Each structure stands twice: as C-alpha cells, then as structure tokens.
Homo-oligomer: A and B are copies of this chain.
Amino acid sequence: MGQRSSAPPSPRTRVRRIAELADYEQETLHAILDEAYVCHIAFHDGESIHCIPTACWRIDNHLYIHGSNGSRMVKALLGGAQASIAVTHIDGLVLAKSAFSHSMNYRSAVIYGVFEQVRGNAKKMEAMDIFMDKLASGRQHEARTGNAKELAATNVLRVSLDEAAAKVSNNGPVDKEEDLDLPVWAGVLPLKTIHGDPIGAGNEAVPTPDYVTSWAKANN
C-alpha cells in the first residue's frame, strides 16, 4: 500500500492545487480518523520497537488516546517518544488480469508526532465525554462518570494532526494495455464494516436507548 498517493501538483499550478489539496486532504483525514475506533501506534520504549493497537478519537486538530498509568506505551509516549500513528480502512480487493497488477482499495492516515498529556480533571473528563459520544452518541451523561480514583488512574494523551497525511485508493483494476484482452475476471471485491445486532446484558429495568436501537440501522 505504499505505492499510491496523490500525484504532486505541477509547478505551474502549484499554489492553487496545493490549496485545494490541503482542504480536501484535511476533510479526508478527519473522515478517516472519525470512522476508526482503533489506531496503531509505532514507538520505541528504549528497549524495543512496538506496534500497538489502541482506541482513538479525534477532537479538532488532535488525535486522542487513553491508557492506564501502568501501560508501557503510555509511559514511553509521556516520556517523549517519537510516534507514528496509522489508521486504515480496507474497502476492497482489486483483482486485475495479471497477478502483479492486483491491489487494494483503502483509506488510510499516518500521523507523526510526540504525544502530550491532557492535564487537569476537567479537561480529561471533557475529552473522555467526547470519546463516549463517539462510541454511543447521547450516552455520556447517562453512564456513571469517572470518579477521582478512576480519573487518576487514567491518562489521556493527544497528538497534533499537523504532520499527518491521508491516502485514498478507490479504483477499479488498472491493467497493462497488453493484458486487457486476457480472458480473466477483473474487478473489485468490496469489503465493508457493518454493525451487528446489539447484545444487551443486565438491562432488566432499563429502557433501550436510541443509540442502541439505531446501531444496526446505521447499516442502511
């Protein structure tokens, strides 16, 4: 997937195209991040390099994560480790008429930076509320909010999106001229993530909230 990206603008259209691209790419970047529940974070903890999946959410121009005080990743990131964060959605397999022209459709984002700690209970709670709203819109004032002990055990971290790039591939197969007449099926086998039917637990006296009834309907 390292092969494709937007073509660089030509010198004569540089300013206009960069401006357009920048807008387009920020919108694209935000959409990719907002659709993801999890990112992968690359970091070095002084002993080894790691690639770790963790829950994420975006607020304005930052990507947020959280983790417990004891987490190796949290310790390394709060220690100033350089990080690279990737979010990837796979949209389909692209079958071409020759083996080496196969590819995938995807939307991905890679961010580079150093995480900073979100400090102060009010700011931490505000960030966690927005995370909860991403998981289940309307829920953040319903579930019991974190108490002082829970908040103290949880770190909230964020990294700027200033150094981030989005890449999108959304194409049919691209075959070489001499392969076009081969009697081989070419096209896209789409992949998509859908919502399954909610599975309740211990809700004997609880009316089903909107964010649960609407969950599986979001597929349509």
Contact = CB atoms under 8 A, between A and B. Distances in A.
Interface in A13-38: 37-38
Contacts of A173: 201-202
A78 interface: no
B135 A48 contact: no
Given A37-B104, A192-B194, A184 B142 contact: yes
A165 to B, nearest CB: 11
Contact of A203 (B68, B84, B145, B186): B186
A2 interface: yes
Contact of A202 (B68, B73, B142, B180): B180
Contacts of A203: 185-187
Copy count, this protein chain: 2
A198 to B, nearest CB: 5
B84 A51 contact: yes
A98 interface: yes
Nearest to A88: B53
Given A2-B73, A128-B99, A55 B189 contact: no
A205 interface: yes
B215 A186 contact: no
Interface in A158-173: 172-173
A209 to B, nearest CB: 5
A142 B185 CA distance: 9
10 contacts: A3-B71, A41-B51, A52-B86, A55-B104, A93-B136, A97-B144, A98-B145, A172-B201, A183-B205, A187-B199
